[in-house]
Structure 1
Amino acid sequence: MVISNYRYRNIFLHDRLAPVGTNPEVNTRMRSIGRRRWEAAHSPEITPTATHRYLDELDILLQSPETSTLAFQALLASLTRALEQVQLQLQQAHKAALSLAQRETLHEMNRVLQAVIQRMRQALTAPGQYLLQLNDTAASLAHEPSWWFALAEALEVIETTLQRTLSLVQGQPHRSLSRQLGAVLLRLLRRYQHHLLWEAREWIE
């Protein structure tokens, strides 16, 4: 899959050249992730302590007998492939990181996401594995991208995956396994998005 939407890239490049706060779309996005949390925490921590609970929740959910149903396997295959696209972009961002702190944080983000993907792959039955192959797409990644462009691409694919996850699970019954899986993944992805937006703001300023 070739990432062709440059919305984040253009927004932030414009902001890089203009005074902070003059771009209404950036300001809206910053408000959308919670101004009070932003100011209180300054930077959303990505640490083993902060992220291990996602794996614990996932382990519990994937023990359910409902995971073997064809409908859930289809959902699992689709979300697994989407998360693999996120991981590819996070790996690019890790390579392009400018500081040790950025590399350590992105390493932890990749580690947790790889563990999530591994658990989801292990829960796939034969039909699920087949559906996963049908969802296979070739990724085209830039060679040694700059930190800014790698960050923009990572934000873009996370946003796409958030929207895809929402569209797949929002019609499911409130307490269904599909809905609960979606909730766990949405919280993880939003945490990642929150952190990368903070990195973008730091770079702009």
Structure 2
Amino acid sequence: MSNPACGHRTTQTPVEEFETAESDRKRLTEKSFLLAEADDSSEVPDPDIEALQGLVEEVDRQGATYQSVAVAAVQILERALCYEREAAEAALSLGQQEKLEAMVATADQAASVLRDTLSAQGHKVMHLCTEQSPPEPERSRSSSDEPWWFVLSDALEVLEEGTDRMSTLTTGQPSGSSARRLSQTIAQLLQSHHDALLLEADDWIS
């Protein structure tokens, strides 16, 4: 069964595929330069799943604010997981695949932890959001058949969008609140995965 959280490309002509590939390669090159110029001190730590578990255990999980943030986080993580899994499937080497599969496992655990904290209303909202999601277009080929930069570029874009959404949720919550801490933790996780993929892109480009 297809996952509504995943969105895929529609069938492209050879010319469109070439143009998309060139665009993706250019974006990856630009992103890798930005990463190289970044200050090492600004690197975001990879959040620990046990720390996330501890956070959700000590907060009021039934509050409406927490539930709304948790629902958004699960949706964002599930979408990111789709693209991270595809990146792992399209990996260029066994070592690269193992790195990406470890990222997938971390994101999957985070989504599972948060999903278990959803109330009946939270699950209902998740269900409604799934029903309202646009139908997934058919794929002309599997992710393992797509060029590495295609899949990597898609994953980077989704992780960047997810990080931005969670960061926006963070700034909208009171300082020190459980909802702010939760959204900040998920934003950090997504950012760390984004940066890890950028490093893979940098290795590939160089």
**CA shift at 1:182, angstroms?**
1.5
Task: Establish whether residue 128 from structure 1 lines up as the match of residue 101 from structure 2.
Answer: no
Q: Give the counterpart of 1:2 among 7, 15, 20.
A: 7
**CA shift at 1:37, angstroms?**
6.0
Gaps of 5+ in 1: 45-49
CA distance in 2, matches of 1:192, 1:98: 18
Indicate if the aligned counterparts of 1:54 and 1:184 stay in contact, CA closer than 8 A.
no
| TM-score normalised by the chain length of structure 1 | 0.78
Q: Write out aligned runs for 1:32-51 (5 A).
A: 34-36=38-40
Provide the aligned C-alpha RMSD in A.
2.9
Give the 3 Å change call, closer, same or farther, for CA 96–26 of structure 1 in structure 2.
closer
CA distance in 2, matches of 1:164, 1:108: 23
Other-structure match for 2:148: 147
Per mean C-alpha deviation after superposition, the further-off stretch among 85-94 and 145-154 is 145-154
Deviations 1:127-150 (A, max 9, x none): 110111122235556622221111
Q: Give the counterpart of 1:13 among 11, 21, 25.
A: 25
CA distance in 1, matches of 2:77, 2:88: 16
Other-structure match for 2:180: 179
Q: Write out aligned runs for 1:26-105 (5 A).
A: 27-28=33-34, 30-31=36-37, 34-36=38-40, 54-105=48-99
Other-structure match for 1:164: 165
Gaps of 5+ in 2: 1-5, 10-19
| TM-score normalised by the chain length of structure 2 | 0.78
Indicate if the aligned counterparts of 1:12 and 1:200 stay in contact, CA closer than 8 A.
no
Give the 3 Å change call, closer, same or farther, for CA 194–68 of structure 1 in structure 2.
same
SS of the residue corresponding to residue 67 of structure 1 reads coil
Give the 3 Å change call, closer, same or farther, for CA 15–123 of structure 1 in structure 2.
closer
CA distance in 2, matches of 1:177, 1:36: 28
CA distance in 2, matches of 1:202, 1:12: 15
Give the 3 Å change call, closer, same or farther, for CA 139–58 of structure 1 in structure 2.
farther
| Equivalent position amino acid for 1:153 in 2 | D
SS of the residue corresponding to residue 94 of structure 1 reads helix
Deviations 1:155-198 (A, max 9, x none): 00000000110112212111000111122112211211111111
Per mean C-alpha deviation after superposition, the further-off stretch among 84-93 and 179-188 is 179-188
Q: Percent identity?
A: 24
Indicate if the aligned counterparts of 1:73 and 1:125 stay in contact, CA closer than 8 A.
yes
